Structure 1
Amino acid sequence: MARSLLKAKGIPNQFWAESVATAVYLLNISPTKAVLNRTPYEVWKGRKPRISHLKIFGCIAYVYVNSHDRHKLEDKSEKCIFIGYCPQSKAYRLYNPCSKKLIISRSVIFEENEDWCQAMKDEIAAIEKNNIWMLIDLPEGKKAIDLKWVFKTKYHADGSIQKHKARLVAKGYSQKESIVFQETFSPVARIETVRVLLAIAAYLNVPVYQFDVKSAFLHGVLKEEVYVNQPQGFTVNGKEKKVYKLKKALYGLKQAPRTWYGEIDTYFQQNGFMRSKNEPTLYIKRKNSEMLVVCIYVDDMIYMRSSSSIISEFKQSMMRRFEMTDLSLLHYFLGLEVKQCEDGIFISQEKYAIDLLKRFGMQNCNEAMTPMNLNEKLYEKDDVPLTEPHIFRSLVGGLIYLTHTRPDISFSVGMVSRFMHGPTRHHFGVAKRILRYITGTIDYGLWFFNITNFKLFGFSDSDWAGSLDNRRSTSGNFFSLGFSAISWCSKKQATTALSSTEAEYVAITLAACQVVWLRRLLEELHQKQEGATNVFCDNKATIALTKNPIFHGRTKHVDIKHHFIRELTTESIVDLKFCNTNEQVADILTKALSYKKFVYFRTSMEVCNFESREDVGNILIQS
């Protein structure tokens, strides 16, 4: 390890003692199997070591020079090399190559990575290019907001580094409502909308492209007076006490997302786009027989078209107005890995799943065949409470995000998420079993096939009194567009059903609301659904109840909102069809199943890996 520290930064071997001391120090605050994955420091001292002070060995560091050790015109700092930690204090050990002196100091600024320094310079350049601020004296009675740097490494879909990103962020939590800002809400695209667009692209056999707006929030014009202090490392010499008055928004301000959305919304509508009434982040432009569709998620955009000419015009117009990064074909979007080929489009979250397994140390665990045991029983306080519940909550949050492409785990993830407020060891074990299932299906995702049948249809199901705490039921629905999974839901009902028929009735209404939204969205995208949308249910009594306008004695207590399905059935918007329980795909969203049933329904939902497209496609066509 000491040799690696020297070679990594090209430090001469004369500093071997410093590298050895640093290596020993780092090993003592690193977990080891010798003491049950704890650190030697923790075993000896009885507390966990702090690591916020750790720096890269051999990096450039600037040491502050006291005023009595320099003349007025001399530099306030000396450029040194970081060579270790002082064992007697919290100071750092540094070497000045010019004076060849060893310096021990705590007043140090580190330059750990040249990529980050360049990223900071690029961020300041973008701010100045967009004319974001002006340097002035702070007006009397006004307060300036502090700034801070936030660093992030962006990756490609294959895990390789795309770029180092430095973002200058305002500490917006200090802003006061109605004084410094008014509105903050900004819509983002629903994940169902993204899946609908991919399904349509696969059906029409057209490619999907991606744009990234550089420093998007810096384009929003502010209406309020906002002042910020000068950023660390970029203060103007001789004007250190001045502040910046913001003309446009800065990342971190509470109104920044709102101002950016207003800016991009205005741009699209001024350039002939129509904003969707059902998805405020979806914009559609029609030109003769051509159509261009753009979906935005903050500063990321995906778009598809019916011809190449309208695309070229759109790209040129966007690049004239905003500084853009043209990422060409869509490959990676919101953690979704996208593969476009002749057979259709495949999306997955393999890289995210791998990172999730590594985060919780489950990358080498034994595989599970299903995400949940068939006879699993979960209820509150069923075991010893967890001493660190935040770990459970973090795990469940990660699993919820994974359900964007994995409907097969929606029910099991929904079950464990019901115990976020007071998780037990049993709940944590059930959540870890989901990870074990993910290990064996880590490359699974969704296929959007290029199939001529492009009808919207769905399945609705419910268990009865499945919750052991309050005996409420779980609704499940699943919708497919031309055998492409676009929407699914597994959700505990808000009321207690008195019978299985009533539980199914409530579930049908939830599914019907989704049908209405999907049909309206598809109509805006020139994919109008002719006739009623078939929704399959395995309860004949429930189907009869939806078609009979008379209030039976057994349903007179049902809330009026659940009778919405009757209106949709009468208007031929929804057509409820009976299906055998063994063919009820939504069954996988309401309860734990046996392995055989689970695999059958998982395949019916088009969940598979990239190589299984032919087998799954044949099964779906036959069904």
Structure 2
Amino acid sequence: MPCGYGVPIISTIIIMEIIKEALVARKENVWIVDSGCSRHMTGLVKVHFKKTGSKIFYSCGDSVLNISRYARVFKADFDNPVSPVITCLVAKFDKDVMFWHHRLGHVGFDHLTRLSGLDLVRGLPKLMKDLDLVCTPCHHAEMVASSHAHIVSVMTDALGQLLHMDTIGPARVKSVGGKWYVLVIVDDFSRYSWVFFMATKDEAFQHFHDLFLRLDLEFPGSLKRIRSDNGGEFKNASFEQFRNKRGLEHEFSSPRVPQQNGVVERKNRVLVEMARTMLDEYKTPRKFWAEAINTACYISNWVFLRSKLGKTSYELRFGHQPKVSHLRVFGCKCFVLKSGNLDKFEARSTDGLFLGYPAHTRGYRVLILETNKIIETCEVSFDEASPGFTQVKGLDCDETFAPVARIEAIRLLLAFAASKSFKLYQMDVKSAFLNGFIQEEIYVKQPPGFENPDFPNHVFKLSKDLYGLKQAPRAWYDRLKNFLLAKGFTMGKVDKTLFVLKHGDNQLFVQIYVDDIIFGCSTHALVVEFAETMRREFEMSMMVELSYYLGLQIKQTPQGIFVHQTKYTKDLLRRFKMENCKPISTPIGSTAVLDPDEDGETVDQKEYRSMIESLLYLTAYRPDIQFAKVPLFRDNTSAINIAKNTVQHSRTRHIDIRFHFLRDHVEKGDVELQFLDTKLQLADIFTKPLDSNRFAFLRGELGIIHPFGMV
């Protein structure tokens, strides 16, 4: 066809199915097509429709083309143009809709045409919606995932035909069994579920394989399909080989479309929400999340309905209704019957914590608080109204140990201060444990009489320690340690309670025993500065000269430091009701005979042990002499020879192997055995009954003086 002005001529225009709403009727029975046609042409023409014929006119009124009609189809005659001027007609894209769509911030096309058609805003021209318009930026920015219609029909007609699988995890807290993940498997027909706990995801196949074997015995040949996501724990060689061997069909959901695996995804959500709720009820530690999920799965199988079938999952699998009278509140306190050979007056039960139901036995899973072990038993009674339980180490608090200064370290510091001729001072931290920051999540009940009226059922979450918490000493030690390190102190490599601050040629020594702090330096100004630093950070007592510390009475003089335990000794006598007893010059008479008294009164073992331990502390301040090689003096030649002899013989067979420990150190050179005359054996003062003269002699050899002989 000929062209005008370099633009191709459209030879034929066919207009089909003219929509009545797009036409405006006139009195002279003329139909004018609104911009639906003319705007897609040059924008300068109009089309008039009449019964006898139709024409296309310029906007100025001149004719362009004649149009003939065939039923509801219209044909423009380009072979016989009415206008003598050669005209080029082209299809024209209406930029107005897209232009205003961009200008108005990519508002929706439906909303844009509605604003235009109803004249709801001024300055907006009449716009027509075009279904073919596509805005690329809108697709980039506003595209969302497709909706997935809920399946209302039952896809299977028997148990075991289709299994849905998915994993949960990793958990943020490792379970008590050392697991991080959960494998969840759901039967499509009954919605009966199984959960398996895994340390790593690659354990998933073995759990599935074991379950398949059990189900194959229960429902022979029923399993036809398995469905999972594209995770590596399912999409691997093990599953593929097993699938090919058993003739199974493995269906995978589309990547990043969990809705296609919706059955097990919804089950995951239900189990996690149930477990989270059960853990929260009694504030059970989160490390028991696996027990909570296992219990949630157990309960869901017994009580949840398969809505389309009107029966529980348990009934659909086993054929009879479940009984729930044995169910108990997760995390409640319980009492477990003790077993074994018990004393007549020993308690018959121990406290426990209910943690669910065993998989293959009839009973309950219970945490024994005394041993921190989980057992399965049916000999248990429950207290489901108990508000909670006390803290148990390893259960709801892990780190409870806090380093404290050893008595040997105190003696060394006293000796060092005496050698350098400087005084030691003492300060106490008031309410020390309230300064510690705890790492665990701990909640406490609102104190009676101080409940929040707006939230009477809420609990408080602790941000700092309280007295009574088992981790309070550790938290306080960490707080004080970090504070001192930040101030430039260095911590001892062996003694973690000794901190040293170097200031030029001077050194400030700080020794910590929980909230008691002793410190000293040859420069008094540095001591005062340290005391002020502590007062600015903590509430402290006044700085005083060290005079009493851990049962030791200390007197600091220019000649040296004197240490004694007079007050501690008197307190012991008062505690054990012996303050009115007659004193003797030796711990035990030289003529005493230690034979069992068959007719005597039975000694209280607890009181006796307490008495012995208290007496042992009386010897704690005795100075020790330490060497690189420790000499041991023995007044028995045979014992020395046995220690030096590396070969066992008939005379040493009766000696337990642990007593050869000394001989090992002789071989290593750590210990040197030397013979000593019996008269000079200082150890006799601790092991033998002595007369007063020999006792006084050995006491003097140990460097200990009589308190009443002190000037």
TM-score interval for Structure 1 and Structure 2 normalised by the shorter chain: 0.3 to 0.5
The structure with the largest helix share of the pair is 1
Higher RCO (Cα < 8 Å, 6 or more apart): 1
TM-score (norm 1): 0.46
TM-score (norm 2): 0.41
